[in-house]
Structure 1
Amino acid sequence: MGDMRILHTSDWHIGRTFHGNATLPALRDVLQTLVAQVREHEVDVVLVSGDVFDSAAPAPDCYTLLTDTLAGLRETGAHVIVTSGNHDSAARLGFQAKLLRDGIHVRTDPAALATPITIADAHGPVHVYGIPYLEPTLVRRLWPGVRTQAQAVGHAMHMVRTDAAVRGGRTIVMSHCFTSGVAATPHLERDIQQGGLDIVPAAVFDGIDYVALGHIHGRSTLSEAVRYAGAPLHYSFGERDKPRGSWLVELDAEGLADVQWLPLPVPRALQAIEGTLDELLTDPRFDDAQDAWVSARYTDTAAQVDPMRRLQQRFPFCAEVRHAPAATVTDTRTFTARVGAAGNDAQLVDAFLAHVRGGEGATDLEAELIRDVVGERVAAQASA
């Protein structure tokens, strides 16, 4: 036994859907690869920093995947330490812990966070402090005066440091929070306080040998010793350019010795494509998106009929369609001014179309139809 090897992962979100599509089969494949990496690199400890499940009431298949993955990790010989996040049910994870085998540790109780899991290597003990997600309104009864998550994590770290000073040795902290120095992915990190994100200063973790963070779905390095691993699977098109994987951390006798990124496979690539609907349906430059999850923006001036069904004929995994007309605003007059300047009914309809389309009036074909309809109306009135 030499230096300690630690794998840092987080935010599995077992049970989350992707635009209505199940992700469980893809996640199972990815987590099987993660287990293989743990075995290949002879990892001693696996840290899962929160949001193991995506909801407080996971479906039975979600429990099966979690149990199979944790068992697979333990069979490699590694210890596994799991904390709860803001999406998990701490009570359900805590109940699950009682059913798990020796060497798999689940930390969900804020009151017990200053009691570490201690694992020894050739250089002595390593103390791992698992801090679950700390909801201020829930921990206030334990720690009077706490009003924000920053205060809650600060108080938790005071407890950790007090305990670590007595024990001695090297320390690792797991925490599920939004820490300063990293940008959130839109629509993913849903823990938002009124008035903005409840940000935990990165300095609160100073002096710890390694801090394994969860909550942000993209890989991020706040300092050599403070990192986010991100989610192992893409759960949003906003994440499509962010790599998937985990951090392989090595501790020597003095503390942090090395950190390497271990990439995970992407079961299906994510692509964003844009053009007129006809271009999206026919242009060869989009051929490489035919096997990808697709987010399509079509730029036609007018909304098109049934664009999702039509796009899925070319892109079977098209998951999102948005109408984003290319606005060419050349007339900055108000709608009232445009209406006032209309000399006839056809011009009045054109002014309305230009207003709702952001500057683009009737096309040639539409103008011809409008003239026909207006002409029929005038003729009918004249013959009445």
Structure 2
Amino acid sequence: MRLLHTSDWHLGRSLHGEALIDAQAAFADLLVEVVAGESIDAVLIAGDLYDRAIPPLDAVELFDDTLLRLRSTGVPVVLIAGNHDSAGRLAFGSRLLEAAGVHLRTRVETCGEPVLLADSAGDVAIYPLPYLEPALACSPLEAGEVRHEAVLRAAMARVAADRARRGEPRSVVLAHAFATGGEPCDSERDLTVGGTASVPTAVFAGADYVALGHLHRPQQLAEHIAYSGSPIAYSFSEAGHPKSFTVVDLPASGPPRLERIPIPPWRPMARLRGTFDELLSSAEFTGHEHAWLEITVTDERRPANPMERLRKRFPHVLRLVFEASTTTEVVYGEKVEGRSDLEVCRAFVEHVRGRPVTAAEDALLDAAVQAQRIAEVA
């Protein structure tokens, strides 16, 4: 059986204020083309379909159109909710979609209920596990602990029990999680609220292939466990990362064979660094004029109107960083970059009040951040 694995579309996302809907439409066109031309038997989408719980209208329209075009190829689609999606909102119409060959799983209770496909070698059971927020999934899964590893182990126990009832068919697991050994980027939302973020790959024992979502860098953690990565770059930490769809050939027995089909960037992305005069005139930077750019200026003194002047040569500069030690001004984005939601909230309170938060206050902030996360994915 030949499967196409993709994830982390983040429809509706922008990049430092730049709309990405055209770039997202371009990868959707390529996806449909690949599915139609590569003898794909099923499309697997491992979560984060949208970038936020209530996506903009153009993102919803693009998602609807893409699903319709995929189904017009005759190929079934299996997809799950990610941590950026609102599971409850995304689930609207899912039972009707199921009848149309689009198998959308968003509810904890469906863990262990497979989508059954078949080829000449027999059945393939595909188990979609939506993002399992520990505080919401612990009780229905009877996990015992409010931790990412605990809820995923409980979900995989249901998968194992179902496989045993069916005589151990070949199986594929879709999951949205941070697996140990994976390499993150700046553009992924922190999962540490609700316990340690990462889960060991041993949690997924028994599956013939594990199609993961959440991390945006394409990477293979074992011969049968992989992240497809996001189809386009969503932060400058991803500049230079190749983007791709993962095609998985699942044989009658033995390990799967993985192939990456490149996704050409809709617009290149790069990080440039130099003095202001070098950036404006040096041939070293020729070829980047039409790229999305993060530019680091190394001058001791900040030049006048830097963004306006740089955009005469580089019209798509999106982020400007001043490196010189004499520069004391720090933009808000630099202050929060790489910090978790809890760390940002804690720093804000400490800045406003001029003193560190107490242990009791920190616990209240932690509870508030967790409550907001639960509200977003519910």
TM-score in same-fold range (> 0.5):
yes
| Structure 2 match to 1:58 | 55
| Structure 2 match to 1:206 | 205
Q: Within 5 A, what are the aligned runs for 1:1-384? A: 4-98=1-95, 100=97, 102-142=100-140, 143=142, 145-167=144-166, 168-193=168-193, 197-325=196-324
- 1:255 Cα deviation (Å)? 4.8
| Structure 1 match to 2:341 | none
| Structure 1 match to 2:360 | none
- 1:313 Cα deviation (Å)? 1.1
Amino acid of the structure 2 residue aligned with 1:324: E
Q: Is the 8 A contact 2:216 2:230 kept in 1?
A: yes
Q: Is the 8 A contact 2:108 2:129 kept in 1?
A: yes
Change (3 A) 1:181 1:115: same
Post-superposition Cα deviations, 1:1-42, rounded to whole Å, max 9, x if no partner, equal: xxx110000000000001101101111011110110011111
Query: Which aligned runs of 4 or more in structure 1 are off by greater than 4 angstroms?
Result: none
Amino acid of the structure 2 residue aligned with 1:120: A
Q: Is the 8 A contact 2:143 2:150 kept in 1?
A: no
Mapped to 2, the partners of 1:40 and 1:322 lie a distance apart of: 43
- 1:72 Cα deviation (Å)? 1.1
| Structure 2 match to 1:378 | none
Q: Is the 8 A contact 1:139 1:146 kept in 2?
A: no
Post-superposition Cα deviations, 1:301-358, rounded to whole Å, max 9, x if no partner, equal: 1222221111111100000000001x5xxxxxxxxxxxxxxxxxxxxxxxxx7x969x
TM-score, structure 1 as length reference: 0.82
Secondary structure, in 3 states, of the residue corresponding to 2:199? coil
- 1:294 Cα deviation (Å)? 0.8
Amino acid of the structure 1 residue aligned with 2:125: H
Mapped to 2, the partners of 1:150 and 1:307 lie a distance apart of: 48
Change (3 A) 1:96 1:292: farther
Change (3 A) 1:302 1:194: farther
5+ long unaligned stretches in structure 2: 330-378
- 1:240 Cα deviation (Å)? 1.2
- 1:97 Cα deviation (Å)? 2.2
Post-superposition Cα deviations, 1:355-378, rounded to whole Å, max 9, x if no partner, equal: 969xxxxxxxxxxxxxxxxxxxxx
Q: Choose 1 or 2 for highest CA Rg.
A: 1
Secondary structure, in 3 states, of the residue corresponding to 2:249? strand
**What's the RMSD between the two structures over aligned residues?**
1.7
5+ long unaligned stretches in structure 1: 328-352, 358-384
Post-superposition Cα deviations, 1:211-232, rounded to whole Å, max 9, x if no partner, equal: 0000000001000100000000
Amino acid of the structure 1 residue aligned with 2:292: W
Change (3 A) 1:311 1:96: farther
Amino acid of the structure 2 residue aligned with 1:38: V
Q: Is the 8 A contact 1:218 1:229 kept in 2?
A: yes
Mapped to 2, the partners of 1:144 and 1:254 lie a distance apart of: 32
- 1:73 Cα deviation (Å)? 1.1
Secondary structure, in 3 states, of the residue corresponding to 2:74? coil
Change (3 A) 1:356 1:57: closer
Mapped to 2, the partners of 1:113 and 1:356 lie a distance apart of: 52
